[in-house]
Structure 1
């Protein structure tokens, strides 16, 4: 019989805090130390357009090269149909016997379990973060995105709900000007309340960026050129609605941007192509001039055409930035470096009583 594995439940105080990125970076560190990792996401929250498999599960399995024996299937998805069924038939919830089978060790040292978007989500099914922690007998690490020092309130409230199961927290996406305050005052306050701070990750533009390909998907855009450059990363958004001289000054202040402008604004389009532009997004479904297509091809800048007005286009892109995901390999490299530098994996291993068979330099 395989030895029972330990369970670490990764949760968050709000959606899009960086759970999947944290799990990926943590798993890579632990694997480098010889720890045999398995991964589970009992409640699916990001169903794929092409299949029923949760996007996070597919991506993490691919990045970590996990065999099937180190993956647990998603038990249910928080989609409209599943919720509607549960509202009328509460017997459809996952029962304790299913969870016991789900948690059976396959010989791994540690099962990393990804929780839902916040502490309450999944309550209807008995699978909220506190409920999961109790069922799985897991220690809990919370990932909290930094907005202000009021983050302390949310984490203290989480401590009240999770009690001694809360093993520690990772504070994510801290702006440079707040970093020293978080590393000293915020951390000291949380530690005084028996909430270990295992890591404090600074903001990086790359982790808050979205790929051109993702913008194409969200906007349902037509790609007019440079289809092969969908991997370019967009860090900011600029709107070209002014005169060309003003636009040039505006564009030169930004890096790796997407520029939204009308399909008939050739002057703005050419100006954008001479600055740090990752893609042009033309509204009104108007085709650009051939010379602009040619220049964009020379510079390898994709041009997207959308049948939307500027305001709607901006709203969709801003939502994409707010709900940014891990789905690009370059972000995996970034989170790996951030976790190596700013996360105390040795402290986590000590808390979990995990010993490493690998001696690290």
Structure 2
């Protein structure tokens, strides 16, 4: 049985997406795939029990039958944190190994997802390198490449790992097109000279950072005025409608698949957004638009949602929501799989894990 722990330099680097995409690809190649997120840090209520949101989603999307208590045996509750700070022994190592034994039974490969950054869980002696050592698996490090400072993060991660023999290699993720040349010609050779295997360079893809209109409605606690049949439409960006109406349409058309945030009393901006065929109208201040606006939006199949908060608060919430988008839609899964197949050395990873089929 083979395994690999997917870790990262920081939160929201793409660990869940990579585990999901690799899981789909390996299943399609005939391997029996298991998945674990040993330490759950994104806790939600599922039928009265706590579970990790990412782990719950991946379990469903990969069609796994394992119990959530084995997929995520350790949950980062306040009580657990307090006990760790007070030095209370909780038997976490035994719990981890017992769950891993259950998950790995009958599997060819188990993909493990790390917790937050690479050092997450250190106070419980369960940082990603410690988990990898205890379960005798290697680490695949995924790093968001936002600038050359990503190289510093990678080198610092190596110092945290200490035993570099457990590092299988890295994947550079979300590389913008204008940085691709620098990454391929300078960064990859630099890392490989340091003995770090680069398994892939994945370009930035705005669709993966998109959120559905339904997710926006839920997160903003909004009221849907029209467009209830288009809740699964994806929004990739947001724009603020606070300009003169004369320049609004050109502004809205420059950014596709966007939601427009504007005051409920700005009917001129609302009509301009509808004419520009935006994905969604978010109206702030709990001010209802005119019937003419709602009729035009409904005819154009553009959802209009109403929020109680002011524009600035709504902008801040949208910034957080889009920056932390989850993988839930089938179209996103297909895109992830395609990106991995095109930009990651999957055969090299299979060899590294010791799989053969």
TM tier, smaller: over 0.9
Counterpart contact for 1:222–1:304, Cα < 8 Å: yes
Corresponding position: 1:242 with 2:239: no
The offset of 1:70, in angstroms, is 10
Alignment of 1:19-38 (within 5 A): 19-38=15-34
Q: What secondary structure does 1:187 align onto?
A: helix
Q: Which moved more, 1:102-111 or 1:192-201?
A: 102-111
Does structure 1 residue 88 correspond to structure 2 residue 86?
Answer: yes
Q: What is the distance in 1 between the residues matched to 2:344 and 2:299? A: 42
Structure 1 residues 81 and 284: alpha-carbon distance in aligned structure 2, compared to 1, 3 A threshold: farther
Q: CA RMSD in A?
A: 1.7
Q: Does 1:9 align with 2:8?
A: no
> How many angstroms apart in 2 are the aligned matches of 1:49 and 1:91?
26
Partner of 2:72 in structure 1? 74
Alignment of 1:209-288 (within 5 A): 209-288=210-289
Alpha-carbon contact 2:15-2:113 (below 8 Å) kept: yes
Q: Displacement, 1:89?
A: 5.1
> What residue number does 1:359 align with?
none
User: Are 1:257 and 1:276, in contact at CA under 8 Å, matched by a contact in 2?
Assistant: no
- When residues 252 and 313 of structure 1 are mapped into structure 2, their CA distance, relative to the original with a 3 A threshold, is same
For residue 303 of structure 1, report the CA deviation from its aligned partner: 0.9
CA contact (8 A) 1:39 1:71 kept: no
CA contact (8 A) 1:38 1:71 kept: no
Between stretches 82-91 and 20-29, larger displacement belongs to 82-91
Is 2:301 aligned against 1:304? no
State whether structure 2 residue 147 is matched by structure 1 residue 123: no
Contact 1:16 1:117 in 2 (8 A): yes
**Contact 2:38–2:96 under 8 Å retained in 1:** no
The answer to whether the aligner puts 1:208 opposite 2:209 as a matched pair is yes
Query: Using the alignment, how far apart are the partners of 2:80 and 2:257 within structure 1?
Result: 40
Secondary structure in structure 2 of the residue aligned to 1:134? helix
Cα distance change of structure 1 residues 140 and 68 upon mapping to structure 2, 3 Å threshold:
same
Deviations 1:122-176 (A, max 9, x none): 1122211111111111110011011112211111222233211010111110000
Q: Matched residues in 2 for 1:70 and 1:200: separation?
A: 32
Q: Give me the whole-angstrom Cα distance separating, in 1, the residues matched to 2:197 and 2:65.
A: 32
Counterpart in 1 of 2:99? 102
Establish whether residue 337 from structure 1 lines up as the match of residue 335 from structure 2.
Answer: no
Which stretches in structure 1 are left out of the alignment for 5+ residues?
Answer: 357-361
CA contact (8 A) 2:241 2:262 kept: yes
Post-superposition Cα deviations, 1:270-297, rounded to whole Å, max 9, x if no partner, equal: 1101114111111110111112112211
SS at match of 2:51: coil
Match of 1:290 in 2: 291
Contact 1:12–1:117 (CA under 8 A) maintained in structure 2: yes
CA distance in 2: counterparts of 1:291 and 1:114, whole angstroms: 50
Aligned partner of 2:54 in structure 1 is 56
Q: CA deviation at 1:71?
A: 8.6
Q: Which moved more, 1:195-204 or 1:290-299?
A: 290-299
- 1:79 and 1:97 map into 2 onto residues whose CA distance is 18
Q: How far apart are 1:235 and its partner, in Å? A: 1.3
SS where residue 7 of structure 1 aligns? strand
1:69 Cα deviation after fit = 7.4
Number of aligned positions between the proteins: 351
